[in-house]
Protein backbone atom coordinates (compact mmCIF):
# COMPACT_ATOMS: atom_id res chain seq x y z
CA UNK A 1 0.00 0.00 0.00
CA UNK A 2 1.47 3.32 -0.99
CA UNK A 3 1.81 6.23 1.40
CA UNK A 4 -0.96 8.05 -0.48
CA UNK A 5 -3.37 5.10 -0.15
CA UNK A 6 -2.43 4.68 3.52
CA UNK A 7 -3.16 8.37 4.06
CA UNK A 8 -6.54 8.08 2.33
CA UNK A 9 -7.50 5.06 4.45
CA UNK A 10 -6.43 6.87 7.62
CA UNK A 11 -8.52 9.90 6.65
CA UNK A 12 -11.59 7.79 5.94
CA UNK A 13 -11.23 5.97 9.26
CA UNK A 14 -10.79 9.32 11.04
CA UNK A 15 -13.81 10.84 9.31
CA UNK A 16 -15.88 7.80 10.23
CA UNK A 17 -14.95 8.22 13.89
CA UNK A 18 -15.78 11.93 13.71
CA UNK A 19 -19.14 11.23 12.04
CA UNK A 20 -20.00 8.63 14.69
CA UNK A 21 -19.06 10.96 17.56
CA UNK A 22 -21.01 13.93 16.19
CA UNK A 23 -24.14 11.92 15.43
CA UNK A 24 -24.01 10.06 18.74
CA UNK A 25 -23.79 13.39 20.56
CA UNK A 26 -26.76 14.67 18.56
CA UNK A 27 -28.84 11.63 19.40
CA UNK A 28 -27.76 11.90 23.05
CA UNK A 29 -29.16 15.43 23.16
CA UNK A 30 -32.41 14.61 21.38
CA UNK A 31 -33.16 10.99 22.34
CA UNK A 32 -31.33 10.65 25.64
CA UNK A 33 -29.27 7.75 26.85
CA UNK A 34 -30.96 4.98 24.84
CA UNK A 35 -30.64 7.01 21.63
CA UNK A 36 -26.97 7.68 22.30
CA UNK A 37 -26.27 4.02 23.04
CA UNK A 38 -28.14 2.92 19.93
CA UNK A 39 -26.30 5.49 17.82
CA UNK A 40 -22.92 4.45 19.19
CA UNK A 41 -23.70 0.79 18.54
CA UNK A 42 -24.78 1.61 14.99
CA UNK A 43 -21.52 3.44 14.44
CA UNK A 44 -19.52 0.58 15.92
CA UNK A 45 -21.29 -1.91 13.67
CA UNK A 46 -20.05 0.07 10.66
CA UNK A 47 -16.63 1.05 11.99
CA UNK A 48 -15.35 -2.25 13.40
CA UNK A 49 -15.88 -4.29 10.20
CA UNK A 50 -14.40 -1.48 8.09
CA UNK A 51 -11.36 -1.32 10.34
CA UNK A 52 -10.99 -5.11 10.06
CA UNK A 53 -11.11 -4.86 6.27
CA UNK A 54 -8.60 -1.99 6.18
CA UNK A 55 -6.16 -3.88 8.40
CA UNK A 56 -6.58 -7.06 6.36
CA UNK A 57 -5.88 -5.24 3.09
CA UNK A 58 -2.98 -3.30 4.61
CA UNK A 59 -1.41 -6.59 5.67
CA UNK A 60 -1.44 -7.79 2.05
CA UNK A 61 0.57 -4.83 0.75
CA UNK A 62 3.56 -5.89 -1.29
CA UNK A 63 2.29 -9.40 -1.99
CA UNK A 64 1.72 -10.81 -5.45
CA UNK A 65 -1.53 -9.85 -7.18
CA UNK A 66 -3.27 -13.20 -6.64
CA UNK A 67 -2.69 -13.03 -2.88
CA UNK A 68 -3.88 -9.43 -2.74
CA UNK A 69 -7.11 -10.37 -4.50
CA UNK A 70 -7.59 -13.29 -2.11
CA UNK A 71 -6.99 -10.94 0.79
CA UNK A 72 -9.65 -8.55 -0.55
CA UNK A 73 -12.20 -11.35 -0.87
CA UNK A 74 -11.37 -12.74 2.57
CA UNK A 75 -11.49 -9.25 4.07
CA UNK A 76 -14.85 -8.48 2.50
CA UNK A 77 -16.28 -11.84 3.58
CA UNK A 78 -15.02 -11.28 7.11
CA UNK A 79 -16.43 -7.77 7.07
CA UNK A 80 -19.89 -9.03 6.10
CA UNK A 81 -19.84 -11.80 8.71
CA UNK A 82 -18.63 -9.40 11.37
CA UNK A 83 -21.37 -6.91 10.51
CA UNK A 84 -24.03 -9.61 10.71
CA UNK A 85 -22.67 -10.86 14.04
CA UNK A 86 -22.56 -7.35 15.49
CA UNK A 87 -26.14 -6.62 14.45
CA UNK A 88 -27.26 -9.96 15.83
CA UNK A 89 -25.66 -9.13 19.20
CA UNK A 90 -27.02 -5.57 19.19
CA UNK A 91 -30.58 -6.72 18.60
CA UNK A 92 -30.32 -8.95 21.67
CA UNK A 93 -30.00 -5.86 23.87
CA UNK A 94 -33.08 -4.29 25.46
CA UNK A 95 -34.22 -0.74 24.64
CA UNK A 96 -32.39 -0.39 21.33
CA UNK A 97 -33.75 2.46 19.22
CA UNK A 98 -33.79 1.51 15.53
CA UNK A 99 -33.67 5.02 14.04
CA UNK A 100 -30.46 6.18 15.78
CA UNK A 101 -28.86 2.78 15.23
CA UNK A 102 -29.48 2.71 11.49
CA UNK A 103 -28.96 6.46 10.97
CA UNK A 104 -25.43 6.38 12.38
CA UNK A 105 -24.67 3.07 10.65
CA UNK A 106 -25.62 4.55 7.26
CA UNK A 107 -23.88 7.84 8.02
CA UNK A 108 -20.63 6.05 8.91
CA UNK A 109 -20.83 4.04 5.68
CA UNK A 110 -21.60 7.19 3.68
CA UNK A 111 -18.18 8.55 4.58
CA UNK A 112 -16.81 6.31 1.80
CA UNK A 113 -19.15 7.86 -0.76
CA UNK A 114 -18.19 11.39 0.21
CA UNK A 115 -14.51 10.45 0.20
CA UNK A 116 -14.87 9.30 -3.41
CA UNK A 117 -16.58 12.57 -4.34
CA UNK A 118 -13.82 14.64 -2.72
CA UNK A 119 -11.02 12.91 -4.61
Question: Is 104 in contact with 23 (CB distance < 8 Å)?
Answer: yes
Distance of CA 33 to the CA centre of its chain: 22
Question: Is 50 in contact with 16 (CB distance < 8 Å)?
Answer: yes
Quick check: 1 pLDDT over 80?
no
> From CA 2, how far away is CA 6, in angstroms rounded?
6
Share of the chain above pLDDT 90, in %: 69
Domain count, the chain: 1
Mean pLDDT computed over 14-28: 97
What is the SS3 assignment for 29? helix
Higher-pLDDT residue of 52 and 4 is 52
Q: What distances in angstroms separate CA 47 from CA 9, 40, 51, 63, 77, one per listed residue?
A: 13, 10, 6, 26, 15
Quick check: 99 pLDDT over 80?
yes
User: For position 115, what pLDDT does the model report?
Assistant: 77
User: For position 5, what pLDDT does the model report?
Assistant: 58
Q: How many residues does the chain have?
A: 119
Quick check: 22 pLDDT over 70?
yes
User: For position 58, what pLDDT does the model report?
Assistant: 86
Quick check: 63 pLDDT over 90?
no
Q: Which of 75, 35, 32, 38 is nearest to 57 (CA)?
A: 75
Mean pLDDT computed over 12-28: 96
Quick check: 8 pLDDT over 90?
no
Mean pLDDT computed over 22-35: 97
> From CA 31, how far away is CA 38, in angstroms rounded?
10
Question: Is 83 in contact with 34 (CB distance < 8 Å)?
Answer: no
Structural domain that includes position 65: 3-118
Amino acid sequence: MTARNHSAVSKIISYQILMIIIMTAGFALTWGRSGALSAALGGASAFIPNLYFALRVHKSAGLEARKIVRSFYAGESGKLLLTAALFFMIFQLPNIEILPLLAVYVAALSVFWFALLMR
